Amino acid sequence: MTQCNACSIFRFPACFLTGLLLFVAALTGCGGPSMEGPDAAMPAMETKADTVAMKVFEAYGGPGAWADLRYLRFDFATGSNAPAEADSTVEQPTRSVHGRHLWDRMTGDYRVEMPGGGDTVYVALFNTHAAEEGSVWLFGERVGDEEESGMLESAYRRFINDTYWLLMPVKLFDEGVHRSYLPDSSTGDLDVLHLSFGEVGLTPGDQYWVYTDKETGRVRQWAYRLQHHPPDHVPQPISWSDHKAFDTSSGALVVSERKPSDGFVLYTDRVDMPMEAPEGAFTDPQPML
């Protein structure tokens, strides 16, 4: 399977349930470079875009610390921040998990548990270098060949989409990423990077605009125009918030756990960076995450 880093979703409409269905359907498309993890060789800092991108990378932990990270665990979920009642100002968020992930970044071994409604949880075990050779399990039993092929493709796309939403700030130097700096006169405290991609990934025509804090280097928000969008599509901003730092032996690593937009929230949360993986993490067919 061909890898890519940039997957995304349609703009969320006002109706949450409709938006959620569109969101799930949109996971079939992604574009971007072909890289396993956020540890690409760093180029010389030759442009303004390079220096801004490196400041972002450093703000989220830096190349050295991310290259040393072995295990990464997180959930990918969606929800709503709509008030409980029409006249209420108290937010009552909902949260629906689409994937529970565990990744051995050194070997490429991967586990993703995908809830299927009720007590149904599909467990996909594969290696990111050869995902088609993996296996998918339901209630401890391996699914049939035809179903397994489709589920493995879904699990691989989950890996691509979900990790990019979590790790984009530290993947700005991946192979195939074209960075350019855009002056933005609307505010003096943001730097704007435009990301496009070479002939890599599944939808290399995707484009991203990344708005970064000049002082801290952290991402404030991003917007995107996907390959399937019409030319007149207006990119809509999605905030990056709830930044959380994790102390590791190589330094502090930072991620954003919450991405709200117009009452809709995308979560990349319940993050952990364990020193060791649980026993049977990449072989046990029973849910454990």
Q: Is the pLDDT of residue 43 over 90?
A: no
In a domain, 280, yes or no: no
Residue 289 lies inside a defined structural domain of this protein: no
Q: Does any domain span residue 113? A: yes
Give the confidence band of 13 by pLDDT, cuts at 50, 70, 90.
Answer: very low
* 32 inside domain: yes
Residue with the bigger pLDDT between 163 and 202: it is 163
* Structural domain total, the chain: 1
**In the predicted structure, residue 220 carries a pLDDT above the cut 80:** yes
CATH number of domain containing 45: 2.50.20
Is residue 120 situated within a structural domain?
yes
Mean pLDDT of the chain: 84
Q: Does 186 reside within a domain?
A: yes
In a domain, 210, yes or no: yes
Q: Has residue 14 got a pLDDT over 50?
A: no
pLDDT bin (cut points 50, 70, 90) of residue 74 is: very high
Q: Which of the residue ranges 9-23, 207-221, 271-285 would you say has the lowest mean pLDDT?
A: 9-23
d(CA 252, CA 254): 7
In a domain, 283, yes or no: no
**34-38, 165-169, 228-232: least confidently modelled range:** 34-38
Whether the pLDDT of residue 16 is over 60: the answer is: no
Q: What pLDDT, on a 0 to 100 scale, did the predictor assign at position 34?
A: 39
The domain in which residue 52 lies consists of 6-272
Query: Cβ distance 175 to 168 under 8 Å?
Result: no
The DSSP code sequence of the chain is: ----SEE--PPP-SSHHHHHHHHHHHTT-EE----SSS-PPPPP--SHHHHHHHHHHHHTT-HHHHHH--EEEEEEEEEE--BSSTT--SB----EEEEEEEEETTT-EEEEEEEEETTEEEEEEEETTSGGG-EEEETTEEPPHHHHHHHHHHHHHHHHHHHHHHHGGG-TTSTTEEEEEE--TT-SSEEEEEEEE-S-SS-TT-EEEEEEETTT--EEEEEEE-TTS-TT-----EE-EEEEEEEETTEEEEEEEEEEETTEEEEEEEEE--SSPPTTTTT--S---
Q: What is the mean pLDDT of residues 255-277?
A: 95
